Amino acid sequence: MLTIFTVPKAFRGHIAVIQRNAIRSWLLLRPKCEIILFGNDEGTKEIAAEFRLRHIPEIACNEYGTPLVNDVFQKAEKSARGNVLCYVNTDILLLGDFIEGVNYVARRKRRFLIAGQRWNVDLLKPLDFKVDWEEELRSLVVAKGELYDPAGIDYFVFDGNLGEIPPFAIGRTLFDNWLIYRARERGVAVVDATRRISAIHQNHDYGHLRNGRTEAWGVRKRGEILS
C-alpha cells in the first residue's frame, strides 16, 4: 500500500476548491491509497471526516505557527500503514500514471526517492470527476499548462526512513532541494519522474501568508527563512 500524506492550508475560498480537487484525485488512485491529513487548520478535520481519511492534528510548528517538515515526516513514517510513502502538497492533482510510475521504480530499485516537475494550470472551480476527467484535464494542460522550473518540487515518494531532517518550514524554500541532496548523500536512487508522472499544480495566490509570495520566498537577516 502507498501512503500519501499532506499538510493542508485552511479550507477557505479558492484554496478550499483546489485542495478538495487534489484530495478527490488521490482518492481515485488505484490501487487505493492510505491518505493522512496533518495539522488542524480550518476545515482539515471536517474534510478528513467527509472523505474518511486519517487525521493527525498535532504537529510541531515554528514560532510563526508554520508546520515543521521534520515532525510531519517523522510522524508519517511511524504511523503509515503503507510501505511506500508520498509527501505531496495539497494543491497537486495526481492521475493514474502516478501509481504506474511509482510501481515502475519500486520494481527496479530497493531504496529510492521519486520526484518530478509539475505542470501549472488555472483551475477556478471544482472539478467534475466524471469518467473522462483525466483526458479533459490532460487536454487543458497541453493547451494552457506550463511546466514549472525543476527547482520547485511538490511531491516526494520514498521507501522508508529518510533519516534526520532539519526543522524546515513547510511551504517555504529549501526543504525540497535538501531532501534530494540528503537522499543522494545516503546512496538512495533519486529518480526524476517528470516524463512519467503528471503532477498538476493548480495555480493560486499567496493570500494565506501575511506577506504573500514574498514571505514564502523571502529571507530574513542571517539567512533565516521567513515563515
Q: What is the pLDDT of residues 122-151, one digit of tens each?
A: 999 999 999 999 999 999 999 999 999 988
Per-residue pLDDT at 207: 57
Sheet with 155-158, edge to edge strand ranges: 54-56, 34-38, 2-6, 84-88, 155-158, 112-115, 189-192
Beta-ladder partners of 88: 155
pLDDT for position 219: 42
C-alpha span between 201 and 117 (Å, rounded): 10
Nearest CA to 55 out of 70, 40, 66 is that of: 40
pLDDT at 218 over 80: no
Residues in Cβ contact with 223 at an 8 Å cutoff, skipping those fewer than 6 apart: none
pTM to 2 decimal places: 0.89
- Give, as one character, the DSSP assignment of residue 227: -
